[in-house]
Chain A
Amino acid sequence: GAGVSQSPRYKVAKRGQDVALRCDPISGHVSLFWYQQALGQGPEFLTYFQNEAQLDKSGLPSDRFFAERPEGSVSTLKIQRTQQEDSAVYLCASSLTRGSSYNSPLHFGNGTRLTVT
């Protein structure tokens, strides 16, 4: 498969647990984005990587959220001490070049649906 792959597809966590969500972007894609999508809402930006550098993390809602992309390919979004308001679909997207420029469309994964009980 040449698309963006996310795992797990579904995750149920008890409040207070830590979770780790994985994103495998398309091989060679420079840019990687994480988005959070609450039920019935459009996705909201969380953070952006250009290769291994996290250039923008302004969308992370709290210091319980942490993302990394240590080798510039696979990325992990970690949420510590999960809360019920963290329940959402977490989407990953990648693009070939920097940002979401006109000549470089975004390719989305299917998302991870996180439910915190």
Chain B
Amino acid sequence: KNEVEQSPQNLTAQEGEFITINCSYSVGISALHWLQQHPGGGIVSLFMLSSGKKKHGRLIATINIQEKHSSLHITASHPRDSAVYICAASYSGGGADGLTFGKGTHLIIQP
């Protein structure tokens, strides 16, 4: 079964801290997604990557294909970054073509 594991499940940090959220997946993927979900349910796609590194503002996503691992980093964290961050994998091959999601990391940034 294709699985996606995230850590930590919960993270509380002070404003300004550097944040790292980790994601591991079990088999080969075609793409790895990082998503942000605010209270109320809406999900926003932050990154979609299949290799290397992407940066958008204070957010950085990296992926190591050999190690089947991805990280999401937030620099100079701010209370508005508080949300659930979800890692999701697109698996190649047959099946739904949909995503397998991790359970999410609940991030709270305190002022």
What is A's interface to B at a CB cutoff of 8 Å? 31, 33, 35, 37, 40-45, 48, 55-56, 58-59, 89, 91, 93, 98-102, 105-111, 113
Give the chain B neighbours of A35 by CB distance below 8 A: 98, 101
Other-chain residue from B30, B40, B104 in contact with A101 (beta carbon distance below 8 A): B30
Bound complex: CA A101 to CA B49 (Å): 10
Once the chains bind, are A91 and B41 in contact (CB under 8 Å)? yes
Once the chains bind, are B95 and A56 in contact (CB under 8 Å)? yes
Closest chain-A Cβ to B28's Cβ sits at a distance in Å of 14
Residue of B nearest to A50 (CB): B97
Other-chain residue from A48, A55, A59, A102 in contact with B30 (beta carbon distance below 8 A): A102
Give the chain A neighbours of B99 by CB distance below 8 A: 33, 43, 45, 100, 106
Once the chains bind, are A110 and B42 in contact (CB under 8 Å)? yes
Once the chains bind, are A44 and B45 in contact (CB under 8 Å)? no
Give the chain A neighbours of B48 by CB distance below 8 A: 102, 105
Once the chains bind, are B42 and A100 in contact (CB under 8 Å)? no
Bound complex: CA A58 to CA B95 (Å): 9
Bound complex: CA A68 to CA B5 (Å): 31
Give the chain B neighbours of A56 by CB distance below 8 A: 95-98
Q: Which of B14-49 contact A (CB under 8 A)?
A: 30-31, 33, 35, 40-45, 48
Give the chain A neighbours of B40 by CB distance below 8 A: 110
Give the chain A neighbours of B42 by CB distance below 8 A: 108-111
Other-chain residue from B41, B44, B96, B104 in contact with A59 (beta carbon distance below 8 A): B96
Once the chains bind, are B101 and A102 in contact (CB under 8 Å)? no
Residue of A nearest to B9 (CB): A40
Q: List 30 A-B contacts (CB under 8 A).
A: A35-B101, A40-B103, A42-B4, A42-B101, A42-B103, A42-B104, A43-B86, A43-B88, A44-B101, A45-B96, A45-B98, A45-B99, A45-B100, A48-B96, A59-B96, A89-B41, A91-B41, A91-B43, A93-B43, A99-B90, A99-B97, A100-B31, A101-B31, A102-B31, A102-B50, A106-B45, A106-B99, A108-B35, A108-B44, A111-B42
